[in-house]
Structure 1
Amino acid sequence: MSLGSSLATAMTALRANQAALSIVSSNVGNAQTPGYVSRTVNQVAEATGDVGSSVRVTGVNRSLDQFVQSQLRSETSGGAYADQTASVLTQLQSVYGTPGAAGSLETAFSNFTTALQSLSTTSGSASTQISAARAAQSLAQQLNATTQGIQTLRSNMEQDLNISVGQANAAMNQIAQLNTQLQSMTTNDPAAANLMDQRDSAIDQLSKLMDVRVSTNGSNQTTIYTSNGVELVGLQASQLTFNSQGTLSANSQWNANPAQSSAGTISCKLANGSTIDMIASNSFKSGQIAADLTLRDTTLVQAQTQVDQLAASMASALSDQTTAGTAAPAALAPKAGFDLDLSNVLPGNTVNLTYTDAATNTQHQVSIVRVDDPTVLPLSNATGANPQRIGINFSGGMASIVTQLNAALGSANLQFSNPSGSTLRVVDNGAAATTVNAASVTKTATSLANGSPQLPLFTDGASPYTGSISSAGTQFVGLAGRITVNAAVLSDPSKLSVYNTSPATQAGDTTRSDFLYNQLTSGTFSYSSATGLGTPASPFKGTLSSYMQQFLSQQSNASTTATQLQQGQDVVVNTLKQKMQSTSGVNIDTEMANLIALQNSYAANAHVMSVVQSMMNTLLQAQV
């Protein structure tokens, strides 16, 4: 190698040292910068003359472990889901109140039953009647407040979704813009490193909101997909929209059919112009958006159903009168069954049948519900529902009722007829194929002094609660938010004891107060599987207090489990962040070691240049 070549090689080495020093300086200066990935200089050797090689800087490498990065994004999405779920379920516990503490749902119920017990033991004194009425009102108000708390949480989810969609759009637009800037750059282009850091940070932000799949091609272009394959970002960004409904109520429910939906939905307008309903297509499985959707449309809806069921069961327990049918005339033999009085059956009231299929020896239960709105018929039943619900329109009179029932249950070998007036007769077909075991009618008491202990103590606003069903919805939905104490009882608490006017209820008669107390503390009822307890085929059955304790315990356990999951997820995310930092972040000790090595290399190359210069001077002097 000539002296000139040696000098040139030393010069290229010095330039390489300067480039490496610049990178070390950049690494040290950005050691605390979020999203900054440590860099190293990419150097290659080049032949120089017959002997030796010079050095050339070809670009900058980002010290990025893409596998760890992918894991971190996935777990970050899961962590955001766990954080949001745990936070909201903790807030839900505050809505119910601490068991046994003042202001809790459980305490309000206990105070009311205690007041009713006192009403019986004091033979219905005026002061205990007033106390019982006030305790009933406090319980109704606690149910109202519980509903308000649940719906406030749902409304918060609606607002969070609106904010999250805006953040997601901002991140996707940034990724698309950075893709455009990076389109003509290679991955080791020094100018590309900062842009790729920015792109990775935008993808990280998006991964907190939703679970995404990331693919980068050889042209340094990153494409973002949802877990089910919807393209969010390519050369262009898709656009998410959310039609926020603002404040939600118990009747605000999301539906895939926009005409039936009263909660906001998320749509995605793709780069090709087509639009996808992201909720209907199940595009969100993790991240904060998925958590908000699950909480808004499932978790908190079920919580509302649970308190609505408590309110409905409580109202029905005190107002429902169930009358067993009388045996059908013996002259109908070999047919046998029952006669039922359908007078005063209100929408939502039921005819209850139990029959046995002789071929399989299987007993069936049927609940025939008065539904006068034809737009909601037929009623849907969950698979294996027990009892089976059949909706019948009573508005056409007894002849229409009989026709509808024969059409619905004739295949079960049951026969319906109307022998007179408002009497409904149900019998088997006389062929021993079916046995009608029992039949009864459940009606809602609407009078405070009807000669029976039942009374409409708790009402739906000013209307009796019957469980009616119409195109406007089921009376059951949101009842806990509307339930109140009958205004006539609040104005005259003696109605808690007086159940008849002719003859007048005698002073000290505790028939009604005993009935109310026993229904609320000892009565056994069946609860909808929509509450999350039991199944359609085997619904949860128990007293009102056992039902309340069951769903409160379920919600408490769910909150505890969510908190534990959040803590576990935090450990995983933090571990991956540390691993990411160790592989891709700036290590000051390493940079200081690199700095010393560069200093020594720079000095050595400078010395080479000095020696070459000295040798060239000696050569020139020798020639002279």
Structure 2
Amino acid sequence: MSLSLSLNSAISGLRAAQNSLAVISNNVSNAKTAGYTKKVQPQVNVTYNGMGAGVVSQTVYRQTDELMRREIRKETSTQGRTTIENDFLKQIQTMYGKTESGGRLGSAITAFNTALNALSTTPESSSAQLNVVASAKALTLTMNDMAQQVTDMRTSGARQVGDAVTEVNTNLQQVQELNRQITRAYALGQPTGDLEDTRDLALSKIAENMDIQTFRRDTGEMVVFTKSGRILVDGNAVQLSYTTPNVMGVTDKVPAITINGQNVDIKSEFRDGKIAGLINTVDNTLSGIAGQLNQLAESLYGNSARTTGVVDQPQYGPATYPFGRLNTTPSETSGTITNPTYLDITRSGSTLQLGVNFNIGDTLTFSNGATARVEAVDTNAASANVRFKITALSGGFNVSSTAPVSITQVNGVALGGAAANITGIDSGYRFFTGVDLTHYTSTTGGYVAQNNAASIAIHPNLDPSQGGTAALLALANDPFTKNLAKTLSDTFTQMQSVAQNIGGVASGNYTYAGYATSMVSQNAIVASKAAADQSFQVEFVRSLQSQSAEIEGVNVDEEMANLVTYQNAYSASARVVTTISEMFDTLLGIKS
């Protein structure tokens, strides 16, 4: 071997050792850097005419397992979803309170029922009356507060979707830019490991928010798409579009998520990640709880009349009215009432009098031809308003304030004086107020939810703090029922029919306290499972990351051993260079 060839070999060894030492030093200094993977400096032996001619350093690459990285991203998406669901369910559990006695809501219902029972035995007791009012107000305020908390959580969840979409868009743009840098460096034969590490961090952040799939082209470019096959990054990155709502109404769903503003909602395609968890929580979990609270509020209102089964405000809908519907709810979607038990009759300008205008047993004929027989009269009604108990109604009629049905004949004889019109129940006979029961559509029979739990309140006529009097609770000479306290107490102890399966609480028969307990218990079961799922997923992802670190991470001890090896190689190559230099000097000295 010539001295020149030997010198070139030694110098190439110096360069190779120097390059390797630089890579090893970078590995050691970044051993704890998040997302950093071990870099490797490959070297190739060079020959010339069958003889060794030194070593050449090739492009530095990173030591990774792409299949492992895909699996980690997949499980990271699941972790993002379970974490969101668990966080919200813990908030819901806090809102409900302890599961014993149905939580805050069940305790408030039980306290109200206890007060009603006490008042029903001593209706003349002013302290018992005030206690009922106080416990009723506590119940309605509890429902108001819980309804508001549910609204706040739904609004927060919908806003978090907006934050997640913004983060996804930012990282998609970063992947696009890094793809360009990587393909350029790859074409020039330059190292791309650090750029790919940064790109993987961006992909991990995307995966936290939504489930994605990826594949790497031979050019080093990473293509990103959704699990359903929609392209997110392929050359250029798309942008997800989302309009963050200011507040979420009771019927609102998480707004549409589109790609590049196109009119295609891809919200249903999110199955994992934080966005999927938020959509499920807002549109299903929290919406279900709102429905349960509103169903309970509607039943409390619907069953709190001083006499049960009276004609209520106009209602249109199927017989399967939610929890605690009145007996007079129309049995068909036409809105025609065919089987009321009680009628409220209003007469303008004069009064209707028992023994003068009608008697018990009289047959009434209405302006639409329907007939009914008077069984009893509520003598507690206001002077211009009379409540009849009727039987054997034929024909049916609509309750309408714009075109009321009126009494035209009594026992076949025309009723003189002003018209006597059928009306809705006088609101003064309701224990609660602030509830809208007129939310069925007569055309489709569809249910349009109202946030009644947020607005239910004790009727001001019964509340001394609002100018009312609690003594109205003790009206005892009702010919149809006992006093209102007893009527309500009986209602609270009776099983009520739940026609709607909402939020996981099955339809069936419940007491009010039992329904509240079912609400809390159902959430406790779901919350327990969510906590277990989230805990498992955290440990699973941590286990995968640990396995990945063994393959891709920097082992400092191993790197230090390599450092010593290449230091020695560098020293040896340097010694060869020195020796050859001395030999050249000797040869040059001989020639001279």
- Please tell me whether residue 446 in structure 1 is matched to residue 425 in structure 2: yes
Q: Secondary structure at the match of 2:270?
A: coil
Q: 1:86 to 1:300 in 2, by over 3 A?
A: same
Offset from partner CA, 1:70-99 (integer Å, 9 cap, x none) = 111111111111111111110111112224
Distance 1:516 1:445 in 2: 20
TM-score, length of structure 1 as denominator length:
0.75
Offset from partner CA, 1:429-464 (integer Å, 9 cap, x none) = xxxxxxxxxxxxxx9982478xxxxx4212225x6x
Q: 1:558 to 1:351 in 2, by over 3 A?
A: closer
Per the alignment, residue 550 of structure 1 pairs with 518
Q: How far apart are residue 165 of structure 1 and its match?
A: 1.2
Q: Which moved more, 1:239-248 or 1:46-55?
A: 46-55
Per the alignment, residue 405 of structure 2 pairs with none
Per the alignment, residue 219 of structure 2 pairs with 219
Offset from partner CA, 1:336-357 (integer Å, 9 cap, x none) = xxxxxxx94643267869xxxx
Per the alignment, residue 458 of structure 1 pairs with 432
Per the alignment, residue 440 of structure 1 pairs with none
- Please tell me whether residue 278 in structure 1 is matched to residue 245 in structure 2: no
Q: 1:192 to 1:308 in 2, by over 3 A?
A: same
Would you say the 8 A contact 1:10–1:608 is kept in 2?
A: yes
Distance 1:88 1:530 in 2: 18
Per the alignment, residue 471 of structure 2 pairs with 494
Q: 1:557 to 1:233 in 2, by over 3 A?
A: same
Give the superposed CA RMSD.
3.1
- Please tell me whether residue 125 in structure 1 is matched to residue 92 in structure 2: no
Offset from partner CA, 1:349-388 (integer Å, 9 cap, x none) = 67869xxxxxxxxxxxxx9965xxxxxxxxxxxxxxxxxx
Per the alignment, residue 548 of structure 2 pairs with 580
- Please tell me whether residue 348 in structure 1 is matched to residue 332 in structure 2: no
Would you say the 8 A contact 2:31–2:556 is kept in 1?
A: yes
Q: Secondary structure at the match of 1:525?
A: strand
Q: How far apart are residue 390 of structure 1 and its match?
A: 4.4
Per the alignment, residue 500 of structure 2 pairs with 528
Would you say the 8 A contact 1:525–1:544 is kept in 2?
A: no
Per the alignment, residue 416 of structure 2 pairs with none
Match of 1:266 among 257, 269, 293: 257
Q: How far apart are residue 546 of structure 1 and its match?
A: 1.4
Match of 1:420 among 370, 388, 394: 370
Distance 1:444 1:174 in 2: 66
Per the alignment, residue 71 of structure 1 pairs with 71
Q: 1:319 to 1:559 in 2, by over 3 A?
A: same
Q: Secondary structure at the match of 2:264?
A: strand
Distance 2:563 2:56 in 1: 19
Q: 1:141 to 1:68 in 2, by over 3 A?
A: same
Per the alignment, residue 296 of structure 1 pairs with 282
Q: Secondary structure at the match of 1:392?
A: coil
Distance 1:189 1:368 in 2: 83
Q: How far apart are residue 212 of structure 1 and its match?
A: 0.7
Distance 2:569 2:44 in 1: 16
Offset from partner CA, 1:566-614 (integer Å, 9 cap, x none) = 1111101111222222221222111101101101111222222233334
AA paired with 1:497?
Answer: A
Task: Name structure 2 gaps, 5 residues minimum.
Answer: 321-326, 338-367, 373-392, 397-421
Distance 1:322 1:516 in 2: 9
Identity of aligned residues (%): 26
Distance 1:392 1:100 in 2: 44
Offset from partner CA, 1:405-441 (integer Å, 9 cap, x none) = xxxxxxxxxxxxx973484469xxxxxxxxxxxxxxx
Per the alignment, residue 481 of structure 1 pairs with 454
Q: Which moved more, 1:95-104 or 1:207-216?
A: 95-104
Q: Which moved more, 1:242-251 or 1:230-239?
A: 242-251
Distance 1:352 1:102 in 2: 29
Would you say the 8 A contact 2:334–2:442 is kept in 1?
A: no
Q: How does 1:287-326 map to 2 (within 5 A)?
A: 287-319=273-305
Q: How far apart are residue 517 of structure 1 and its match?
A: 1.0
Q: How far apart are residue 32 of structure 1 and its match?
A: 2.1
Q: How does 1:608-623 map to 2 (within 5 A)?
A: 608-620=576-588
Distance 1:23 1:591 in 2: 10
Q: Secondary structure at the match of 1:243?
A: coil
Per the alignment, residue 147 of structure 2 pairs with 147
Would you say the 8 A contact 1:174–1:202 is kept in 2?
A: yes
Q: Secondary structure at the match of 1:186?
A: helix
Per the alignment, residue 62 of structure 2 pairs with 62
AA paired with 1:348?
Answer: Q
Q: 1:567 to 1:203 in 2, by over 3 A?
A: same
Per the alignment, residue 18 of structure 1 pairs with 18
Distance 1:447 1:488 in 2: 12
Would you say the 8 A contact 1:86–1:562 is kept in 2?
A: yes
Per the alignment, residue 114 of structure 2 pairs with 114
Q: Secondary structure at the match of 2:471?
A: helix
Per the alignment, residue 571 of structure 2 pairs with 603
Match of 2:334 among 387, 392, 395: 392
AA paired with 1:14?
Answer: L
Would you say the 8 A contact 1:316–1:444 is kept in 2?
A: no
TM-score, length of structure 2 as denominator length:
0.78
Q: Secondary structure at the match of 1:214?
A: strand
Distance 2:239 2:68 in 1: 29
Distance 1:53 1:368 in 2: 102
AA paired with 2:269?
Answer: S
Q: 1:298 to 1:531 in 2, by over 3 A?
A: closer
AA paired with 1:311?
Answer: A
Q: Which moved more, 1:39-48 or 1:606-615?
A: 606-615
Q: Secondary structure at the match of 1:124?
A: coil
Distance 1:350 1:543 in 2: 24
Task: Name structure 1 gaps, 5 residues minimum.
Answer: 255-262, 324-342, 354-366, 371-388, 396-417, 427-442, 450-454
Distance 2:122 2:183 in 1: 87
AA paired with 2:162?
Answer: N
Offset from partner CA, 1:459-508 (integer Å, 9 cap, x none) = 225x6x4665479985653111111112222212122221557x8x9xxx
Offset from partner CA, 1:507-541 (integer Å, 9 cap, x none) = xx96432221121122332241134223xxxx322
Q: How far apart are residue 167 of structure 1 and its match?
A: 0.9
Distance 1:290 1:351 in 2: 34
Offset from partner CA, 1:139-158 (integer Å, 9 cap, x none) = 11110100001111011112
Per the alignment, residue 413 of structure 1 pairs with none
Q: 1:276 to 1:593 in 2, by over 3 A?
A: farther
Per the alignment, residue 4 of structure 1 pairs with 4
